[in-house]
Amino acid sequence: VVSAGLLVGSGDDATVVERHAPMVTSVDAVVEGVHFRIPPFTPAQAGAKALAVALSDLAAMGASAREAYVQLGLPERLDREALALADGIGEVAAREGVAIAGGDVSRSPSLFLAVTAVGSVEEASAAVRRDGARPGDALVITGEVGGAAAGLLVLERPELGAGIETVALDALRARQLEPRPRLGAGEALARAGASAMIDVSDGVAADAGHVARASRVGIAIEAERVPVQAGVAEIAAAAGLDPVELALGGGEDYELLASIPPDKVASAEEGLAGVGERLHVIGSVGAGTEVEVRQAGRRREIPGFDQLGARRAPSGPA
Amino acid sequence: VVSAGLLVGSGDDATVVERHAPMVTSVDAVVEGVHFRIPPFTPAQAGAKALAVALSDLAAMGASAREAYVQLGLPERLDREALALADGIGEVAAREGVAIAGGDVSRSPSLFLAVTAVGSVEEASAAVRRDGARPGDALVITGEVGGAAAGLLVLERPELGAGIETVALDALRARQLEPRPRLGAGEALARAGASAMIDVSDGVAADAGHVARASRVGIAIEAERVPVQAGVAEIAAAAGLDPVELALGGGEDYELLASIPPDKVASAEEGLAGVGERLHVIGSVGAGTEVEVRQAGRRREIPGFDQLGARRAPSGPA
């Protein structure tokens, strides 16, 4: 994919890109052994996920993705996998219409991928920040959650998947190994008037906390309204966990969590339908400064999970 | 430093920057044990050099530097040095007028710094590429070279510095530990009409080779005309090396090497004087496809050095 505005590509000291709009930039680095392991990730999946996660941050701003720059730290033992890794990145770039405008490969004792994703918005005020949530707004989420955490559990302990349909199991594993940035949904939510937006990387509860703190508001989440991916409840039961913990504390689903005035929810739903995505109202923005998760009429705590599956302390910033 | 165009800073999913000019982007990653070691580098110097090297690529395009994004992979043993490292980056950013617009710290088994530097040019055609050198152009270089390689030798074998003035020794070590991007010089050379430009990271001979290949021209370098930093000859002699090898093969000086029509050399010299830098004509562009180094009227080979001081094979791409 070559971006229309790419004037000088890689091979020179730097890349030159024509840009006559506000530029939205996200940086994200992932490190083997910290953010992922090979296996269960293949090198191609590790590359693809690194780019997808950086693009997800652009989605969370309502930006349109344009270019990405990839810096790869490659240990000798993975030299033969370098092409597969680049292919994984290239596939996501092609699918999402992003140009890989520059890059750099370094020898490194451990594998890392540092991605810089660049997008644009029509005007700066169109970028949806974390700090715009207002009391009275609805809290909405795209797609379904819990799948990435359940997928990781199954990858680490395959016996947890006994008795679950293969299709559902494959989808759970793919949620963890091959997440997809919700770029179309992010643009649609921005157009519909989302007041704040974030991608679900740390977990719905923790990410709602980031919005609450930035916006200086309280957020109430109704656990029963949170859309949970098929198979998550079964994996949770097999692992002796509460499914709500996986759905709200699990993270890495890379769905979009947004606040939006209630009278704009219908047009947001329409916009999302236009890009093949579904929207769910899962709570509301109010006064206060905290995130409250309610289940069966009572308040409850949501412990978080880190990206290699260990349980974290309840809620709190990542 | 906050860039005038920085609309949403770090803390959100992404950064938003107002940009109504072609954008020039360079990515550069450095890895401990591969590109540098601590010591002799302090963490602050490692951070400062990572940013300086990325900015040097913008200088080599004739671009004006705007923002930088820094992704840090931090091993636990350096946790207490993280602030010093950030300070080193901040000092270079402040001195060069660059905003650190975003960043990311990851746990990593080994220290890495992946920097994305963003600059701009007034119009895309103003970016000076590697492929514009034409037969008849003069080959020019800013400042003096050889110091970074000699500085590394002295850091590794302090006895080589015996008998050299402290001021010169300090300057050699600083060339290696604290290189400076030639941003003002790069803009001045672009304005004066440089036809191709590159920064001296791999060594004058190897970097001239990059220009020759991209431009499909031959380049002749006259070794006697290459400006060599004070003390390089003495260090080379003490190490049993030819000073020309350090000056042309050493690399990491981060001076700018450019081709320019002969009738524009005088205005380039004036432009550089305006930013406190000096320009030297060290050769010429001609027909052919190779870099020829001439010394005492004869052609000679220049072996390269890698960034940790081991000798590389003669010339060739890095």
DSSP one-letter string for A175-240: HHHS----HHHHHHHHHHT-SEEEE-SS-HHHHHHHHHHHHT-EEEEEGGGS-B-TTHHHHHHHHT
Q: Indicate the angle between helix axes A183-192 and A265-274, nearest 10 degrees.
A: 150
- Compare CB distances from B34 to A60, A63, A106 and report the shortest one's residue: A106
- Compare CB distances from A22 to B17, B33, B214 and report the shortest one's residue: B17
CA–CA distance, A74 with A263 (Å, rounded to integer): 50
**pLDDT score of A20 more than 70:** yes
Mean pLDDT confidence for A251-275: 97
Q: Closest approach of chain B CAs to the CA of A109, in angstroms?
A: 7
Q: Closest approach of chain B CAs to the CA of A300, in angstroms?
A: 27
Q: Which residues contact B228 (CB under 8 A, 6 or more apart)?
A: B144, B145, B146, B243, B246, B247
Picking from A12, A58, A130 by the largest number of B CB atoms within 10 A of its own CB, the best residue to mutate is A12
Q: Which residues of A touch B70 (CB under 8 A)?
A: 27
**pLDDT score of A308 more than 80:** no
A42, A56 contact by CB (below 8 A): no
Distances (CA, A) of B43 to B51, B80, B91, B110: 13, 10, 13, 13
Question: How much is the ipTM here?
Answer: 0.87
Q: How confident is the model at residue A7 (pLDDT cuts 50, 70, 90)?
A: confident
Contact flag B13-A118 (C-beta cutoff 8 Å)? no
A3, A101 contact by CB (below 8 A): yes
Q: Which residues of B213-231 are buried (b: 16+ CB within 10 A; e: fewer)?
A: bbbebbbbbbbeebbbbbb
Query: What is the pLDDT, as a whole number, of residue A299?
Result: 93
Closest residue by Cα to residue A37 from A52, A49, A53:
A49
Q: How many CB pairs under 8 A join A and B?
A: 210
Q: Could you tell me where the beta strands, DSSP code E, fall in chain A? A: 6-8, 15-17, 23-31, 64-74, 99-107, 112-120, 138-142, 196-199, 218-222, 256-260, 279-286, 291-295, 298-300, 303-305, 311-314
CA–CA distance, A34 with A306 (Å, rounded to integer): 10
CA–CA distance, A168 with A161 (Å, rounded to integer): 10
**pLDDT score of A4 more than 90:** no
Query: What is the pLDDT, as a whole number, of residue B7?
Result: 77
Distances (CA, A) of A84 to A43, A62, A97, B305: 6, 31, 20, 31
Q: Which residues of A1-26 are buried (b: 16+ CB within 10 A; e: fewer)?
A: eebebbbbeeebbbbbbebebbbbbb
Identify the burial level of A284 via C-beta atoms within 10 angstroms of its C-beta, where 0-12 means exposed, 13-18 middle and 19 or more buried: middle
Amino acid letter, residue B228: V
Closest residue by Cα to residue A203 from A258, A150, A145:
A145
A17, closest residue in chain B (CA to CA) = B23
A217, A262 contact by CB (below 8 A): no
Q: How confident is the model at residue A313 (pLDDT cuts 50, 70, 90)?
A: very low
Local confidence pLDDT in tens for the 318 residues of chain B: 445 577 777 678 999 988 778 999 999 999 999 999 999 999 999 999 999 999 999 999 999 999 999 999 999 999 999 999 999 999 999 999 999 999 989 999 999 999 999 999 999 899 999 999 999 999 999 999 999 999 999 999 999 999 899 999 999 999 999 999 999 999 999 999 999 999 999 999 999 999 999 999 999 999 999 999 999 999 999 999 999 999 999 999 999 999 999 999 999 999 999 999 999 999 999 999 899 999 998 998 887 654 444 445 443 333
Identify the burial level of B203 via C-beta atoms within 10 angstroms of its C-beta, where 0-12 means exposed, 13-18 middle and 19 or more buried: buried
**pLDDT score of A208 more than 60:** yes
Residue with tokens 């995505």: A277
CA–CA distance, A153 with A176 (Å, rounded to integer): 10
CA–CA distance, B318 with B315 (Å, rounded to integer): 9
Contact flag B119-A8 (C-beta cutoff 8 Å)? no
B22, A18 contact by CB (below 8 A): yes
- In A270-309, the residues whose Cβ lies within 8 Å of chain B are none
Q: pLDDT tens digit string along A117-131?
A: 999 999 989 999 999
Q: What are the strands of the beta sheet with A64-74, ordered from one edge? A: A99-107, A64-74, A112-120, A23-31, B15-17, B6-8
CA–CA distance, A185 with A256 (Å, rounded to integer): 8
Picking from A7, A24, A25, A183 by the largest number of B CB atoms within 10 A of its own CB, the best residue to mutate is A25
Query: What is the pLDDT, as a whole number, of residue B3?
Result: 55
What 3-state DSSP class applies to A87? helix
Contact flag A109-B104 (C-beta cutoff 8 Å)? no
Report the predicted TM-score, pTM, of the whole model to 2 decimal places. 0.91
CA–CA distance, B226 with B219 (Å, rounded to integer): 14
Closest residue by Cα to residue A120 from B7, B116, B98:
B7
CA–CA distance, A101 with A16 (Å, rounded to integer): 9
- In A8-67, the residues whose Cβ lies within 8 Å of chain B are 8, 11-31, 33-35, 57-58, 60-61, 63, 67
